[in-house]
């Protein structure tokens, strides 16, 4: 530790010519980022040497998204030096929390899928497993959301400006990626060889982010690739006065790593997205293969030493890329290359939403990646032939990788991986029984489940130090090291003083959040009210609209039927994909409700609506510990798992949810008396869909629905979209909000009643915290380690 503080002083002197007394907060921030990074890099050096010596198997985790969250606090916490650094700084007049605030959230992801990848990197590192993450160094991560007059606006997020201090540039490991051009088959004395001509080369520059683990010597790396033109700018054009043309190819090349697509609901921006996907998978594969060859002088044992995990289909071009490298660069035959490939890849599916299952049109794809296209096409030919050979009565319409001139990436992944998993029990069952049922028939045993998990060290240890400290003292077990031991809390279920203490901690977190709300929205919220929270991407299937409809109902009842409900603060935070019009309309609706309530002194005594803009990891860390109610109200069968549900439960919020995704497992863990479940089951949803869902019938047949929607229309003032949304609900309602409305209302009433029984609520909350152990990412990653990857700790 002494050396750490010395290093801070030395850095300030050398870099800025300042002593610590004269340093600015910015300078302290930079010093801490750089010194922490270098300290981790040093640890990494020893760790990697042990790993190399042991020649053990490694995992490479490919993901288009990693939502790492702020790194500085996480690293100091994991290194066990946070409180010393805090004291050292405060002796010198600085507040560590203010320094943390300077760091931007590296927004290299959209939502759950990206955050899951980061939780897993953290958990695996804490358990000393060898994993490397690969992704893109997006210059602009997920956009900054600003709400203006209730509408979402997007602004670029220039996170690298201050975020760059955590990265290490590895100029020695650049690779070249080839796009466009033509491939020619050539017969040589060694047989058939592929020659690639007239291609456009792009350089991938590697930047490494150190991933620290809790109380461990392990340091893993997230490698992020940045695109750069090969050859830079054209001097001849520049000399001819063609200034903008001279840098054109550079601009095109660099566009690849410019922006994270703010869409996790569809596959837009097709061409650039294909380029991004190939760019990072090719760069990563080239590096993996090169390193392996250097270590073993052969690729024959690749599958024994390497697992490449494909996080949803976005990185699926890894598969044909490995085939290409093996055949075109290392002269393997098709059969031998295929044998290695299908033992190397494992694939996780994260969604069954048709619009999110990636498909690329052959016409678009083939010119960009001609060689890769030929390989995919050959994989498909052989797969279809094999199906016929085994005589399986299989449905090639459903299973063929290329169908109607579209390449179906999930099918490619299933055919080419040795393992396919879903992310909750329900989701994995749906994959087997429905979405991929024919595949499940011909590949028995290939499909499996690993229910998601979360990095409790961040989501409890760091986000809620008050609760962590209290539980540490109470339980006398290191539940931060091993979350399963948190179940000891159950012993205190009847201990009123414990219930009171938990309630007091919740209150502290609510006060902190209320201050944030005041500062950022100007709204004053009652910290004695129920904090009812829905925070996640804005999607119709997640049904923020159902939540909004309930608030409109309450408003009507308070205003016209003298209802005096227990006070509630409805807190929303969500980004909508920039092209998703209906999602943006839902944000507008929520903001309009908030405004109307705020103007009405009669109503705002009881209910308030807060929409916090720019949802991101660091904001989630503030909201989650303060939540009383966790809204997990997706249409059953649509949310593959959810992970926010687990984070909220861990912090003592009670779930109000449908039997969807991991809610089902939360229900099983806490029992029916400690959760609020409503709505149609996933089978009932399917049945109703098949029979033909008509929301208008629900509107006509239920007086409460009818009155609420009719009232909603009266709120329209021309600038709001109440009428528009009411029409949408009555005429379409694709995710069946109206079908579930009454049962949702019933559970909301029960919540209100239960909350007022402070002991009962406190006990339910305690039971939730105590049963959250199974949702640790340590548990989830251990399942990957044992069931799928078969790797060992680095000792
Ligand atoms: C999300 C899923 O929607 C969510 O249910 C799940 O918890 C998360 O992935 C992590 O598994 N994009 N985001 C997801 O899937 C896709 C595709």
Claim to verify: residue 588 and residue 491 sit in the same structural domain: yes
Residue closest by Cα to atom 4 of ligand 1:
642
pLDDT exceeds cutoff 60 at 424: yes
CB 285 within 8 A of CB 330: no
CA of 640 to the centre of ligand 1 (A): 6
Q: Does pLDDT of 264 surpass 60?
A: no
Query: In the annotation, is 448 catalytic?
Result: no
Could you tell me if 428 and 545 lie in one domain? no
CATH of the domain at 564: 3.40.50.2000
Ligand 1 centre from 358 Cα, in Å?
14
Probe target for ligand 1 pocket from 267, 641, 665, with the most ligand atoms within 8 Å of CB? 641
Same domain, 4 and 73: yes
Could you tell me the two tokens for 70? 């702020």
pLDDT for 266: 60
Please tell me which residue in 43, 223, 275, 350 is annotated as part of the active site: 350
Choose among 557, 199, 185: nearest CA to 375.
185
Q: Is position 375 within any domain?
A: no
Question: Which mutation among 64, 108, 111 tests ligand 1's pocket best, with the greatest number of atoms within 8 A of CB?
Answer: 111
- Please say if the pLDDT value at position 698 is more than 60: yes
- 647 flagged as catalytic: yes
Select which of 43, 542, 588, 638 is catalytic: 542
Same domain, 481 and 568: yes
What are the start-end ranges of the E strands in 100-232?
131-136, 144-148, 151-155, 167-169, 175-179, 182-188, 191-197, 200-212, 219-229
- The pLDDT assigned to 577 comes to 93
Is residue 263 over pLDDT 70?
A: no
Q: Is residue 356 part of a domain?
A: yes
- Domain residues for the domain of 129 are 1-361+409-452
Q: Which atom of ligand 1 is nearest to the CA of 662?
A: 7
Phi-psi region of 652 (alpha: psi -120 to 50; beta: other; left: phi over 0): left
Whether 632 is in the pocket of ligand 1, judged by its Cβ within 6 Å, is no
Query: Can you give the pLDDT at residue 251?
Result: 77
What are residue 206's DSSP bridge partners? Answer: 225
Of residues 398 and 627, more confidently modeled? 627
Residues 471 and 433 in one domain: no
More confident residue, 195 or 318: 318
Between the CA of 112 and the centroid of ligand 1 the distance, in Å, is 5
The answer for 348, left when phi > 0, alpha when psi is -120 to 50, beta otherwise, is: beta
Domain count, the chain: 2
Domain assignment present for residue 373? The answer is no
Q: Answer yes or no: is the C-beta of 351 below 6 A from any ligand 1 atom.
A: yes
pLDDT at 392 over 90: no
pTM for this entry: 0.97
pLDDT tens-place string over residues 525-546: 999 999 999 999 999 999 999 9
Our answer on whether the CB atom of 311 is closer than 6 Å to any ligand 1 atom is no
Q: Mean pLDDT throughout 114-141? A: 97
Within a domain: 504: yes
Q: Which band of pLDDT confidence, cut at 50, 70 and 90, is reported for residue 738?
A: very high
What per-residue confidence (pLDDT) applies to 268? 58
Ligand 1 centroid–CA 234 distance in Å is 43
Confidence at residue 737, expressed as pLDDT on a 0 to 100 scale: 98
Residue 231 pLDDT > 80, yes or no?
no
At 63, is the secondary structure helix, strand, or coil?
A: coil
pLDDT attached to residue 220: 98
**How far, in Å, from the CA of 149 to the mean position of ligand 1?**
30
Asked whether 417 lines ligand 1 (CB < 6 A), one says no
Percent of the chain residues past pLDDT 90, beyond the cut: 90
Mean pLDDT of 9-15: 96
In a domain, 779, yes or no: no
One domain, residues 610 and 714: yes
pLDDT digits 0-9 by tens, 592-632: 999 999 999 999 999 999 999 999 999 999 999 999 999 99
- Residue 270 pLDDT grade (very low, low, confident, very high; cuts 50, 70, 90): confident
**What pLDDT band is residue 1 in, cutting at 50, 70 and 90?**
low
Q: How far apart are CA 456 and CA 305, in angstroms?
A: 30
| Residue 421: both structure tokens together | 């998993």
Give burial (CB, 10 Å; 0-12/13-18/19+) of 327.
buried
pLDDT for residue 249: 72
**Which atom belonging to ligand 1 lies closest to the Cα atom of 112?**
8
Beta carbon of 141 within 6 Å of any ligand 1 atom: no
Residue with tokens 């992310």: 423
C-alpha dist (Å) from residue 170 to 30, 141, 175, 208, 283: 20, 21, 11, 7, 13
With a 6 Å cutoff on the Cβ, whether 423 touches ligand 1 is yes
Confidence of residue 36 (pLDDT cuts 50, 70, 90): very high
**Residue 660 and residue 582 share a domain:** yes
In the structure encoding, which two tokens stand for residue 721, read together? 């979209």
Q: Is 273 a catalytic residue?
A: no
Q: Is residue 713 part of a domain?
A: yes
Do 86 and 229 fall within a single domain? yes
Mean per-residue pLDDT of the chain = 95
- Per-residue pLDDT tens over the stretch 454-463: 999 999 999 9
């Amino acid at each position: 530790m002494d050396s750490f503080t010395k290093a801070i002083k030395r850095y300030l002197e050398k870099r800025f010519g300042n002593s610590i007394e004269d340093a600015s907060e910015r300078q302290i921030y930079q010093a801490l980022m750089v010194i922490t990074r270098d300290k981790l890099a040093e640890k990494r050096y020893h760790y990697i040497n042990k790993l190399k010596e042991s020649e053990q198997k490694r995992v490479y985790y490919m993901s288009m998204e990693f939502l790492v969250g702020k790194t500085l606090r996480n690293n100091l916490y994991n290194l066990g030096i946070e409180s010393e650094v805090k004291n050292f700084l405060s002796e010198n007049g600085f507040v560590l929390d203010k320094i943390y605030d300077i760091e931007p959230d590296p927004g290299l992801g959209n939502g759950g899928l990206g955050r899951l990848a980061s939780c897993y990197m953290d958990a695996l590192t804490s358990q000393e497993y060898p994993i490397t993450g690969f992704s893109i160094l997006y210059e602009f991560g997920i956009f900054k959301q600003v709400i203006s007059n209730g509408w979402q606006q997007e602004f670029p997020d220039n996170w690298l400006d201050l975020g760059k201090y955590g990265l290490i540039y590895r100029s020695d490991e650049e690779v070249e990626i080839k796009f466009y051009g033509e491939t020619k088959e050539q017969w040589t004395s060694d047989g058939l060889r592929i020659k690639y001509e007239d291609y456009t080369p792009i350089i991938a520059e590697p930047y490494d982010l150190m991933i620290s683990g809790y109380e461990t010597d392990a340091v893993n790396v997230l490698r992020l690739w940045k695109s750069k033109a090969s050859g830079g700018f054209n001097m001849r054009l520049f000399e001819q006065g063609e200034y903008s043309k001279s840098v054109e190819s550079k601009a095109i090349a660099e566009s690849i790593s410019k922006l994270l697509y703010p869409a996790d609901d569809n596959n837009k921006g097709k061409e650039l997205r294909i380029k991004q996907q190939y760019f990072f998978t090719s760069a990563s594969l080239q590096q993996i293969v090169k390193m392996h060859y250097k270590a073993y002088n052969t690729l024959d044992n690749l599958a024994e030493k390497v697992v490449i995990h494909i996080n949803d289909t976005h990185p699926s071009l890894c598969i044909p890329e490995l085939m290409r490298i093996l055949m075109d660069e290392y002269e393997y035959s098709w059969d031998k290359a295929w044998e290695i490939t299908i033992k190397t890849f494992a694939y996780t599916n994260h969604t069954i939403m048709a619009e999110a299952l990636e498909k690329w049109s052959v016409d678009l794809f083939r010119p960009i990646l001609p060689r890769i296209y030929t390989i995919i096409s050959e994989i498909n030919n052989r797969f279809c032939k094999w199906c016929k050979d085994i005589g399986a009565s299989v449905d090639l319409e459903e299973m063929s990788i290329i169908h109607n001139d579209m390449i179906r990436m999930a099918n490619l992944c299933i055919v080419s991986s040795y393992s396919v998993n879903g992310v909750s029990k329900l989701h994995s069952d749906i994959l087997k029984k429905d979405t991929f049922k024919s595949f499940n028939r011909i590949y028995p045993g290939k499909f499996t489940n690993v229910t998601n998990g979360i990095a409790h060290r961040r989501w409890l240890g760091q986000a809620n130090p008050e609760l962590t400290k209290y539980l540490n003292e109470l339980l006398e077990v290191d539940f931060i090291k091993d979350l399963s031991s948190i179940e000891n809390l159950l012993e205190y279920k009847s201990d009123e003083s414990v219930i009171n203490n938990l309630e007091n901690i919740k209150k502290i977190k609510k006060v902190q959040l209320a201050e944030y709300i005041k500062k950022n929205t100007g709204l004053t919220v009652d910290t004695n009210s129920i904090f009812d929270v829905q925070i996640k991407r804005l999607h119709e299937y997640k049904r923020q609209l159902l939540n909004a409809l309930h608030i409109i109902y309450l408003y009507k009842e308070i205003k016209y039927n003298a209802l005096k409900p227990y006070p509630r603060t409805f807190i929303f935070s969500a980004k909508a994909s920039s092209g998703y019009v209906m999602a943006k309309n839902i944000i507008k609706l929520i903001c309009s409700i908030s405004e109307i309530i705020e103007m009405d002194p009669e109503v705002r005594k009881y209910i308030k609506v807060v929409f916090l803009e720019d949802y991101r990891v660091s904001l989630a860390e503030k909201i989650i510990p303060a939540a009383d109610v966790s809204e997990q109200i997706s249409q059953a069968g649509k949310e593959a798992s959810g992970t926010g549900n687990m984070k909220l439960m861990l912090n003592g919020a009670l779930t109000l949810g449908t039997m969807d995704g991991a809610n089902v497992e939360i229900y099983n863990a806490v029992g029916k008396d400690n959760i609020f479940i409503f709505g149609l089951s996933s089978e009932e949803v399917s049945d109703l869909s098949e029979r033909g869902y008509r929301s208008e019938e629900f509107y006509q047949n239920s007086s409460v629905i009818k009155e609420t929607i009719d009232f909603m229309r009266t709120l329209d003032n021309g600038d709001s979209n109440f009428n528009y949304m009411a029409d949408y609900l009555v005429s379409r309602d694709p995710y069946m909000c109206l079908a579930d409305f009454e049962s949702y209302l019933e559970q909301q009433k029960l919540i209100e009643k239960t909350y007022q029984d402070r002991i009962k609520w406190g006990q339910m909350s305690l039971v939730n915290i105590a049963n959250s152990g199974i949702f640790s990412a340590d548990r989830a990653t251990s399942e990957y380690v044992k069931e799928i990857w078969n790797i060992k700790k680095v000792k």
